[in-house]
Structure 1
Amino acid sequence: MDWAEREGLVRREELLWWARWDLDSTLALMDRVGIATAVLNPTMQDRYRSAAQAREGLTVVFEAMSGLMAAHPGRFAVLAPAVLDHPEVTTWALRRAYDDLGAVGVSVKANYNGVYLGDPAYDRFLAELDDRAAVLFTHPLDLPGGPPGVPTVPGIPNFMCDFLLDTTRAAVNLIRTGTLDRHPHLSVVLPHAGGFLPQIATRMAAFGDFCTPPLDAARVRDHLHRFFYDTAGPLAPRALWWPPPVPTGSSSAPTGRPPRPTSSPATRCRPSRPTPPSPTTNAAASTATTHSVSCPR
């Protein structure tokens, strides 16, 4: 934080409450609710002004994470921050995070300068992660085209609506481009219960022919079950289920309204990986499984 303030990247007093991290409070919360290990995502990807500044900032981050993990063995793990608008910095950061800190996954934004995950420009990066069988944790920020931090709609903070669209666009683009087919060992975690991807599943299946290339309904259904969904903060009691795709051959136009569930979300949804991780399971996989759900096929 001190480095970021000196660089003019943040002003401590303007940070929102959830951006104010405190070690003692974090450990107390973890102990109170039974969290053995917390996975940290230390990044300011939307604030670095140059590749040199990004590398300097990440060096500060890695040194801080190394000290924290050494002081509290087993209590913290880390995601490797990838700054895809600076490919050389990303390559360096991945190796530093994995080799020196034992990173359990990689953190990326949904888009960089309007280029969304799934774009072929990121294939080399994703191929490296696929070789590592990595967990890729995505996170939204401002939509492309506007000044950073300025509300798209005056009076409505971007994190209320736009962030969910940012996540959904990235997920749809990953499906459209067949990225998960090209990188089958990659596990992609969508935040906030997948944005509103689950709610537009029927719409995607019905109107996929209008995409380029066309989206097959079967691919939509398959890929919905290949993502992991962060369930820590969807903030909606009905966010853990989605309507089934339009039946093949159906002539009914979608109404935009999901059908009434026949059971509660808790009974309709199950962990994406039904077998609980063993003590030797990779920590990243354990994290993704713990915070992910998918609905029955």
Structure 2
Amino acid sequence: MPEVSPAVGRRSVLLMAPAVAAATVADTVRADARRPAPDGRAGADASNARIDVHHHYTAPAWRTWATAQELVNPAQLPWWTEWELDDTLAVMDQAGIATAVVSLAMPVRGFRDRAQLRESITVAQEAVTELTRAHPDRFAFFAPLFPDDLETSRWSFARGLDELGAVGVQMRANTRGVYLGDASHDKLLAELNERSAVINTHPHELPGSDPAQHAVPGVPSFFCDFPLDTTRAAVNLILNGTLDRYPDLSFILPHGGGFLPFIADRMAAFAGFLTPEIEPARVRDYLHRFYFDTAAPMGAASAAALFATADPGRILYGSDWPASPAGTISDVAAPALDRESGLTTLQRRRVNRENALRLMPALAGRRTAAAR
């Protein structure tokens, strides 16, 4: 049966600082700079109305259920599973996040059988549905998928998208060592393609690694391994022709696409060494097919690399709450994006809100922070 592991590894140390490089990012659409922002303020960057596409939600009701099922030991669960509504809303307000699109985090190594897995999903989906109905302007959600269980995945996304109002689905970069884009995923992706689905992805421990061990002493998996896991998944989606076969799917890569922006030129230069080969001229086109979120945090250097690689209309705001501490989100990541990234007012407005609205129009009915 499928494993459902933590969305991110436990972080023993988190040291983040704003970038200090003074890079300038080209504004590809400068002519639109005076166009009114969503809240009607000319030139506003929507920094008080962000749409966050990178938010981990472990429902308190799910923790209670999983504890009763003896699937988890509350004392051993990572801190980010202690999700509290009041704390979350306070962080969102402080960081200018109007709406968070949450992913359902169910940190269990394995379930007894498919029935127990479905019960777990049901508990989590019912909890998030209650949350979104109680706070429709603040929360939306992605329905969870399990690529190694097509039947459960089909049931989960049909219930989530058709009955409960999910705005997309979520998948891991690799499941038991099998990366997104593998031929075993084709039936699932074909059905999602028919729905023009948004697929939010997230990295995991690298295949063959032990989550309880650090491959490099003192370096947790989220620090280096997670960006590599995302990069591997993206390259696999390109190599296996997934983006060509299913052109109506929209894949969101977290953490600025991992290492992808930094190896774009390397991919083009050595495309002939890949199997199958890729035409160097097509590498840039493929990279423009992905969406990227800013959960990093993102300063001048990383923003410059991302905007040089990605389609500026496909970059989305991400916080990584509650895996990232509140101080990192409000005092490091937000200032880095708003003031130190080198982005123009127009670019910030699009990253903070407008790009997400174009990708997921169902979010458009939610009020901005300024209107509340």
CA distance in 1, matches of 2:213, 2:169: 27
Q: 1:3 and 2:78 equivalent?
A: no
Secondary structure of the equivalent of 1:84?
coil
* Aligned counterpart, 1:188: 251
Q: 1:135 and 2:187 equivalent?
A: no
Q: Which has the higher helix share?
A: 2
Whether contact under 8 Å (2:181, 2:237) holds in the other structure is: yes
Aligned pairs for 1:234-245 within 5 A: 234-235=297-298, 237-242=300-305
Q: Say which of 272, 282, 286 aligns to 2:360.
A: 282
Secondary structure of the equivalent of 1:240?
helix
**What is the letter of the counterpart of residue 266 of structure 1?**
L
- In structure 1, runs of 5+ residues without a counterpart are 246-263, 287-297
**Change over 3 Å in CA distance of 1:270–1:69 after alignment to 2:** closer
Q: 1:70 and 2:147 equivalent?
A: no
Q: 1:54 and 2:117 equivalent?
A: yes
* C-alpha RMSD of matched pairs (Å): 3.1
- The two structures have a TM-score, normalised by structure 2, of 0.65
- Could you tell me how far 1:177 is from its partner in structure 2? 1.6
**What is the letter of the counterpart of residue 202 of structure 2?**
H
- Could you tell me how far 1:21 is from its partner in structure 2? 1.2
Q: Which segment drifts farther, 203-212 or 149-158?
A: 149-158
**What is the letter of the counterpart of residue 35 of structure 1?**
I
Q: 1:28 and 2:90 equivalent?
A: yes
Q: Say which of 67, 71, 75 aligns to 1:13.
A: 75
Q: 1:213 and 2:276 equivalent?
A: yes
Q: Say which of 223, 238, 247 aligns to 1:160.
A: 223
- Could you tell me how far 1:144 is from its partner in structure 2? 0.8
**What is the letter of the counterpart of residue 76 of structure 2?**
E
CA distance in 2, matches of 1:272, 1:47: 39
CA distance in 2, matches of 1:278, 1:188: 13
Whether contact under 8 Å (2:196, 2:248) holds in the other structure is: yes
CA distance in 1, matches of 2:193, 2:304: 28
Whether contact under 8 Å (2:357, 2:363) holds in the other structure is: no
CA distance in 2, matches of 1:273, 1:219: 26
* Aligned counterpart, 1:254: none
* Aligned counterpart, 2:343: 266
Residue by residue over 1:176-203, the C-alpha shift from the partner in whole angstroms, topping out at 9 and shown as x without a partner, is 1221111111111100000001111111
CA distance in 2, matches of 1:239, 1:37: 24
**What is the letter of the counterpart of residue 171 of structure 1?**
A
Residue by residue over 1:81-133, the C-alpha shift from the partner in whole angstroms, topping out at 9 and shown as x without a partner, is 00112211111101111122111011100011111111121111111111111
**Change over 3 Å in CA distance of 1:212–1:237 after alignment to 2:** same
- Could you tell me how far 1:236 is from its partner in structure 2? 5.1
CA distance in 2, matches of 1:115, 1:278: 29
CA distance in 2, matches of 1:137, 1:285: 15
- The two structures have a TM-score, normalised by structure 1, of 0.80
**What is the letter of the counterpart of residue 302 of structure 2?**
A
CA distance in 2, matches of 1:160, 1:85: 27
**What is the letter of the counterpart of residue 39 of structure 1?**
V
**What is the letter of the counterpart of residue 257 of structure 2?**
G
Q: 1:179 and 2:256 equivalent?
A: no
Give me the identity figure in percent: 51
- In structure 2, runs of 5+ residues without a counterpart are 1-62, 310-340, 365-372
- Could you tell me how far 1:10 is from its partner in structure 2? 3.3
* Aligned counterpart, 1:229: 292
Whether contact under 8 Å (2:72, 2:108) holds in the other structure is: no
Whether contact under 8 Å (2:142, 2:170) holds in the other structure is: yes
**Change over 3 Å in CA distance of 1:277–1:221 after alignment to 2:** closer
* Aligned counterpart, 2:18: none
Secondary structure of the equivalent of 2:267?
helix
* Aligned counterpart, 2:158: 95
Whether contact under 8 Å (1:108, 1:137) holds in the other structure is: yes
* Aligned counterpart, 2:262: 199
* Aligned counterpart, 2:144: 81
CA distance in 1, matches of 2:259, 2:348: 19
- Could you tell me how far 1:208 is from its partner in structure 2? 1.3
Secondary structure of the equivalent of 1:67?
helix
Question: Any runs of at least 4 consecutive aligned residues in structure 1 with deviations exceeding 6 A, and if so which?
Answer: 271-275, 277-281
CA distance in 1, matches of 2:133, 2:350: 31
Secondary structure of the equivalent of 2:153?
helix
- Could you tell me how far 1:270 is from its partner in structure 2? 4.6
CA distance in 1, matches of 2:358, 2:172: 30
